[in-house]
Amino acid sequence: MRLDNSERLFARARRLIPGGVNSPVRSFGAVGGTPPFIVSGSGARVRDADGNEYLDFVGSWGPLVLGHAHPSVVEAVQRAAADGTSFGAPTERELELAELITRAMPSIEMLRLVNSGTEAAMSAIRIARAYTGRSKLIKFNGNYHGHADGLLVKAGSGAATYGVPTSAGVPLGYAAETLVAEYNDLPSVEALFDANVNQIAAVIVEPVAGNMGVVAPADGFLAGLHRLCDDNGALLIFDEVITGFRVAYGGAQERYRMRPDLTCLGKIIGGGLPVGAYGGRADVMQMAAPLGPAYQAGTLSGNPLATAAGIACLQELAKPGVYEALEALGAETEAGLRAAGDAVGVEVTVNRVGSALTAFFAGSPVTTWEEAASSDTGRYAAFFHGLLQRGVYVAPSQFEAAFVSLAHTSEGIAFAAEQAREAMASL
């Protein structure tokens, strides 16, 4: 496989853009080598600047549940663009997207659209602090909630990959407001509540962890969190930026029958364009300006192109049979990866929830950050390059999810499983 054009572009990009990329994991820092520069995508496939084609399991890191360049999304964006790309005034599409989201997730009584998952989490936390009049936050080791100051504490993939548990440039005072508990470990949460009586505004959690690789919530974990929050006057925030409209139409809260106080969304609700949202209980959301004292704003928030793409995407996902299809394709991918490991005697632990999954190079179950972190990342890097050479594109880090889209087929997944077997055989 030649990457001559990508190598040239990467060299030019590194002179102008730190690491040559606009989001760190794209630089292949954890696996080495040159990232292919992508020129186009269609369905489940992407093509790079040297004409190489790949079957894609990254899906833009989650948003592309319909695959690349889905006709409904492309048409919606083209039509919206022709009518003007931004007004900074209310538009009907914002309301339509809000209605689709609130109908899918009954816990969301009111919501606000923003431009990224980072903004959604940052704003949800601000409003939780405004509502409770408290400042401390509990998050989980290995969970990621975007790159806002104070959330870059033990934040999973990016931080794990680069060995920076807490980013430089974050004042100690901000990070000190963030308390870190262990995912799937209720006593670790209880201990923090006990040590910080009446100081904790909220607990924020990825209801299915996705940024340490996929790790499902243990039985009773999410319900236990809600009980601890209620008992202590704190709000429960579900960060469903990955899981929303992914693990069920109504997200993890539908799948696990939960009703969080606040929810963060992003990725899929933008259909591949930049969108985020935060919402939840009306009494909490009414703290947001202009109704309440918590300021939050955005020049491009509710953007016409982004809302058009999001509406088109959610309308496709609302069709019958969609989540059954995603579940079946996810199960085939899981089975293929397990069979590949078994065939060549490589220990892999495959975690999957719906169409999101991770193959950990670990010999025992992965249910916590510590267990995820004990995976063999050297092996993952070799596996990753073996797949890339064979035309299968997965995330360049052990601590990420692979995403199956509706554009994937059983034939494509069988092809990927065969390539995985060959890649594992040469480890």
Which residue ranges make up the site for ligand PLP (CB under 6 A)?
116-118, 121, 144-146, 206, 210-211, 239, 241-242, 266, 276
State the Cα–Cα distance between residues 224 and 266, nearest whole angstrom: 25
Least separation in angstroms between residue 152's CB and ligand PLP is 12
Least separation in angstroms between residue 299's CB and ligand PLP is 17
Amino acid at residue number 34:
T
Least separation in angstroms between residue 137's CB and ligand PLP is 14
User: Tokens for 68?
Assistant: 């690349």
- Indicate the SS3 state at residue 355: coil
Least separation in angstroms between residue 204's CB and ligand PLP is 9
State the Cα–Cα distance between residues 232 and 214, nearest whole angstrom: 29
Neighbouring CB atoms inside 10 A of 410's CB total 12
Least separation in angstroms between residue 346's CB and ligand PLP is 28
CB of 193 or CB of 403, closer to ligand PLP: 403
Check if 239 is active-site: yes
User: Tokens for 260?
Assistant: 């969080």
CB of 189 or CB of 242, closer to ligand PLP: 242
User: Tokens for 109?
Assistant: 């009584």
Check if 154 is active-site: no
Estimate the crossing angle of helix 304-317 against helix 92-104, to 10 degrees.
30
Burial 369-385 (b: 16+ CB within 10 A, else e): bebbbebbbebbbbbbb
Catalytic: which of 136, 139, 154, 267? 267
Catalytic: which of 48, 56, 185, 239? 239
Give the side-chain half-sphere CA count within 13 A for 2.
Answer: 6
CB of 121 or CB of 311, closer to ligand PLP: 121
CB of 3 or CB of 205, closer to ligand PLP: 205
Give the helix/strand (H/E) hosting 224.
helix 221-231
CB of 91 or CB of 115, closer to ligand PLP: 115
The residue number with the shortest CB distance to ligand PLP is: 117
Catalytic: which of 144, 278, 323, 393? 144
Report, as residue numbers or ranges, the catalytic residues: 144, 239, 267
